[in-house]
Amino acid sequence: MNATTLRKLATAVVLSAGLTTASGALAVDNLRIIAPANPGGGWDQTARAMQEVMQSAGIVKSATVENVGGAGGTIGLAQLADKEKGKPNVLMVNGLVMVGAILTNQSAVTLEQTTPIARLTGEYEVVVVPASSDIQNLSQLVEKLKADTGAVAWGGGSAGGTDHILAGLIAQAAGADATKINYVPFSGGGEALAAILGGHVTAGISGLGEWIGQIEAGELRALAISSPERLEGVDIPTLKEQGVDVELANWRAVVAAPGISDAQKQELAAAVDAMVKSDGWKKVLSDKGWMDLYMPGDAFAKYLADENARVSAILKTLGLVS
């Protein structure tokens, strides 16, 4: 299906949704967006940006954001699956981190118990070394990793998070023993950054946006990026072109409550689709430096299942889940 047909379809859905308004109030007129995190973080910012764009573009009458933070988003997820079940006007932001958190926290509720709507944005990860490091490129790092896996200390975010997952995937793809990687989790990007700048760890992994300033200033040397192809305007080679066959996006998406009808699902999907295509959303993406990774409908449902399988496998290898 190409973009034009998709848009036509969406318009049709919006129109038909508009028709139903005549007979009764549209369910998504009073949209509630659950951010399964405390104010300030990426999921919260996504939820608030959606609220702002949907309201100002007139897609919904009103939208509210509710923060239900904790346990990598699984508390919000539990609420969505239980208290919000069957409600047609609720969306929840989620992402790759939640896939990991569901496994490590042994959450009773999984993403299968939600109604997938669409992937929205994402960010790719960079592998860096301090400028003073004698490692010049990815193959030198891979050599070190193969020679003595434990001697390479990786610095990054929390255990089982995106950075940790990527470190495991790289080691695996490079032919090293991923069960032996020496990953040192730090709380927050700032602490990991300081440990790398100070040369306390060998290499670091984080989202591109978080460290781009230090890379451009020449304080960090970027060895590779986890995108499928080189990004426009970013002079960092991909993992793939350097012989490490790994792709990873730290994506963010929206899902709806379980137990809603197909028509209700289409209504929410149309609202999200209209939002993604609005100028307001484009402005948000460029202001915040978010990558547009919009993927609606069944394609997203399949993607979610694939990511789930891939993340479980690597977390098992890393020994985080049994």
Partner 1 sequence: MGALLDGFATALTVVNLGWCLVGVTLGTAIGILPGIGPALTIALLLPVTAHLDPTGAFIMFAGLYYGAMYGSSTTSILLNTPGETGSIITAIEGNLMARQGRGAAALATAAIGSFVAGTIGTVLLTVLAPLVVKLALKFGPAEYFALMVVAFTTVSGLLGTSRLRGMISLFLGLAIGLVGTDALTGQARFTLGILQLLDGIDITVVAVGLFAVGEALYVASRPELRSAQVIPIKGSLWMTKEEWARSWKPWVRGSFLGFPFGALPAGGTEIPTFLSYFLEKKMSKRPEEFGKGAIEGVAGPEAANNSAVAGVLVPLLTLGLPTSATAAILLAAFQQYGLQPGPLLFTSNSALVWGLIASLYLGNIALLLLNLPLVGMWVRLLAIPTPLLYGGILVFATLGVYSYNQSVFDLGLLFIFGIVGYLMRRFDFPVAPAIIGMILGPLAEQNFRRALSITQGDYTVFFTHPISATLLAIAALIIVAPFLLRLRQRRLASS
Partner 2 sequence: MKRGAAAAELVLGLGIAALGAFLLWETGEIRVSPVYAKVGPRVIPNLVGGIMTALGLLLAWQNWRAMQAAGPAPSRASAEDRTDWLPIGAIAIALIQQILLFELLGFMPTAAILFYCVAYGFGSRRYLRDALIAIAIAVVAYVGFVHVLGLNLPAGSLFFGED
Residues that bind partner 2 (CB under 8 A): 30, 32, 66-67, 150, 159, 179-183, 318-320, 322
For residue 194, give both structure tokens.
Answer: 């300081």
Task: Please tell me what DSSP assigns to residue 238.
Answer: B
Q: Which of residues 288-317 bind partner 1 (CB under 8 A)?
A: 288-289
Interhelix angle 262-276/3-23, nearest 10 degrees = 120
Q: Which of residues 199-238 bind partner 1 (CB under 8 A)?
A: 200-201, 212-214, 216-217, 219
Q: What is the dihedral of CA 210, 214, 216, 221, to 10 degrees?
A: -100
**CB of 300 within 8 A of CB of 119?**
yes
The kind and range of the H/E element at 119 are: strand 115-130
Under rule CB under 8 A, residue 78 binds partner 1 = yes
CA 277 to chain centre: 20
Q: Which of 45, 115, 264, 266 binds partner 1 (CB under 8 A)?
A: 45
Measured between alpha carbons, how far is 276 from 103 in angstroms, rounded to an integer? 30
Instruction: Tell me which of partner 1, partner 2, none is bound by residue 198, counting a contact when its beta carbon lies within the kind-specific cut-off of 5 to 8 angstroms.
Output: partner 1
Name the residue nearer to partner 2 (CB basis): 180 or 282: 180
Q: Which of 12, 25, 147, 194 binds partner 1 (CB under 8 A)?
A: 194
CB of 104 to partner 1, least distance (A): 5
For residue 43, give both structure tokens.
Answer: 């999921």
Under rule CB under 8 A, residue 195 binds partner 1 = yes
Instruction: Tell me which of partner 2, partner 1, none is bound by residue 195, counting a contact when its beta carbon lies within the kind-specific cut-off of 5 to 8 angstroms.
Output: partner 1
CB of 285 to partner 1, least distance (A): 13
CA 239 to chain centre: 19
Name the residue nearer to partner 1 (CB basis): 49 or 225: 49
Instruction: Tell me which of partner 2, partner 1, none is bound by residue 289, counting a contact when its beta carbon lies within the kind-specific cut-off of 5 to 8 angstroms.
Output: partner 1
Sole residue written with tokens 């933070």: 69
CA 272 to chain centre: 17
Sole residue written with tokens 């118990």: 113
Q: What is the dihedral of CA 10, 15, 16, 19, to 10 degrees?
A: 160
Name the residue nearer to partner 2 (CB basis): 18 or 39: 39
Could you list the residues that contact partner 1 (CB under 8 A)? Answer: 38-40, 44-45, 48, 52, 66-72, 74-75, 78, 104-105, 107, 150-151, 153, 158-160, 182, 184-191, 193-195, 197-198, 200-201, 212-214, 216-217, 219, 287-289, 320
